[in-house]
Amino acid sequence: MSLILSIETSTTVCSAAIHDAGRLLGVSEVHIGQSHASKLAVLIDNLQAQTGVTLDQLKAIGVTSGPGSYTGLRIGTSTAKGLCYALNIPLLAVNALELMASQVMTGNTEGALLCPMIDARRMEVYSLLQNVQGDQLQPVEAKIIDEQSYSEWLENNTVIFFGDGAPKCRSVITHRNARFIDGVYPTAGHLGELIFKKFHQEAFEDLVQFEPFYLKEFMIKKPEPAVLNKTV
């Protein structure tokens, strides 16, 4: 058996799954924002009860590397690395945008270009653009969306936009060839399939050096200085 635990925490959805040689045995997820720290360990415990698989049976841990929520990625990565150290098993990682593209690929019967989007600040998204063969036409980037975004690709191709960053772009990207799919988010239930391929290739991460792919530096908003009311 090739039992692998997969962890996905790059967006507001927190999920974990166990696969055997890429075949899904069980998945558990919660759709509550900012709950990753309190819920991830619970999801993993639920999976053990659901599948009958114990942690000491695992052959590897898989995780999404990012981009996405800074806090979510830190929680997912630290949990995955901690388990790998404790169990002496390897760590594998998949880009969250590539994961979403893979999830939509199976239903892409028209051969459209795929543009997964993860929400960032204001009109910015983390995105990539790929064709039906999986080749990246535009690499992973932090992109500010306006009326001209992807226009050169939309002229001659249908482009499918999806992910939690896509809804806010619907009113801006109005080209006739633009399509939007709701409800797509990276999930550990699909992640395990991609992780097993990497496991088979022995494409392991360096446990000491591995860090999430944040794409942008984490920015802490400084509080406005207090203004004291003066009385005359």
Q: Are residues 79 and 156 in the same domain?
A: no
Residue 214 lies in a domain: no
Give the chain's domain count: 2
Q: Are residues 75 and 103 in the same domain?
A: no
Residues 6 or more apart whose Cβ sits within 8 Å of residue 124 = 142, 143, 144, 145
The set of long-range contacts for 75-81, using a CB threshold of 8 Å and a minimum separation of 24, is 75/9, 75/36, 75/37, 75/40, 76/7, 76/8, 76/9, 76/10, 76/36, 76/40, 76/212, 77/210, 77/211, 77/212, 79/7, 79/40, 79/41, 79/44, 80/7, 81/207, 81/210
Residue 226 lies in a domain: no
Residue 192 lies in a domain: yes
Alpha carbon distances (Å) from 80 to 63, 105, 123, 229: 7, 27, 31, 50
| Residue 230's pLDDT band (cuts 50, 70, 90) | very low
Residue 208 lies in a domain: no
Q: Are residues 91 and 101 in the same domain?
A: no
Q: Are residues 77 and 17 in the same domain?
A: yes
Q: Are residues 79 and 158 in the same domain?
A: no
pTM recorded for the entire structure: 0.90
- Per-residue pLDDT reduced to its tens digit, 120-151: 989 999 999 999 999 999 999 999 999 999 99
Q: Are residues 177 and 122 in the same domain?
A: yes
- Per-residue pLDDT reduced to its tens digit, 196-216: 999 999 999 999 999 999 987
Q: By the 8 A CB rule, do 73 and 214 touch?
A: yes
Q: Is the peptide bond preceding residue 90 cis, with omega within 30 degrees of 0? A: no
What is the extent of the structural domain holding 52?
Answer: 3-95+186-201
> For the domain that residue 26 is a member of, what is the CATH number?
3.30.420.40
Q: Are residues 60 and 104 in the same domain?
A: no
> For the domain that residue 152 is a member of, what is the CATH number?
3.30.420
Q: Are residues 91 and 60 in the same domain?
A: yes
Residue 206 lies in a domain: no
